[in-house]
Structure 1
Amino acid sequence: MNENTEIQDVELAVSRWLRIGVIISAAVIVIGLILLFITGDSGYPGSFYPHTLSDILHGAVQLRPYAVITIGLILLILTPVLRVAISIWVFMREGDKLYVMITSIVLIILIISFVLGKA
């Protein structure tokens, strides 16, 4: 297999993962919207909404519409992060150490921004 065919295969695999991530996140958001329309409320009293990941996960397990929609949005945000992680693997396979290093730094920055970020 020549190099161009291998690159195209990798690009197809990456695009497939991105498509799957978007489809899954959209499905989760739609489920949350359906729950919202069926129940008529967010699943939380008054103006309270979960702000921590553990509260969101707990609410999603309880099928609270707002929490389910939020999980879908989190999955949508994480989809491009998966693309960065896959890129590291691709560059490692190609033996491109410079791009492995650069992409790893980008992934670390993304992870730190998620951990330290406040909404």
Structure 2
Amino acid sequence: MRRMDLWISWALRVGVLLSALLVLLGGLWYLGVHGRDPVALRSASSSAWLLALEPLGLMRLGLLVLILTPVARVALSAFLFLEEGDRTFALITLWVLLVLLASLLGWL
């Protein structure tokens, strides 16, 4: 169980730190381009949502990484339970993963 805890804690740390880094870099880039002008933030186009090469796109990508971090944790848990041969917990975890994905995609 110790190995499983290490992998899960590593996945959560990496997800949160990567998210924070992306949001921070996007925020600094935004301040470098627009200064402290809140009008530019409100009038930003929503068509350039995620992978646009712009500060808001980078910040949105960071938020997406933050949202997907718990999903990755559950997927990793399911894989680790299967690897350990614990089919009961693997099935329960896969069910939780399906519910998470369905709720994120708006199917529930």
Tell me if TM exceeds 0.5: yes
Q: Distance in 2 between matches of 1:32 and 1:39?
A: 10
Q: CA deviation at 1:23?
A: 0.9
Task: String of CA shifts for 1:26-58, please: whole Å, max 9, x gaps.
Answer: 11001110111011134x8x35424xxxx4234
Which aligned pairs between 1:35-114 and structure 2 lie closer than 5 A? 35-40=29-34, 41-42=40-41, 46=43, 48-50=45-47, 55-59=48-52, 62=53, 64-114=54-104
Which ranges of structure 2 fall in alignment gaps of 5 or more residues? 35-39
- Partner of 2:37 in structure 1? none
TM-score (norm 1): 0.76
- Partner of 1:17 in structure 2? 11
TM-score (norm 2): 0.82
Task: String of CA shifts for 1:55-92, please: whole Å, max 9, x gaps.
Answer: 42342xx2x22221111011011111111001101111
Runs of 4+ in structure 1 deviating by more than 4 angstroms, as ranges, are: none
Aligned residues: 102
Aligned Cα RMSD in Å? 1.9
- Partner of 1:26 in structure 2? 20
Query: Given residue 57 of structure 1, which amino acid in structure 2 is its aligned partner?
Result: L
- Pick aligned residue for 2:2 from 3, 8, 27: 8
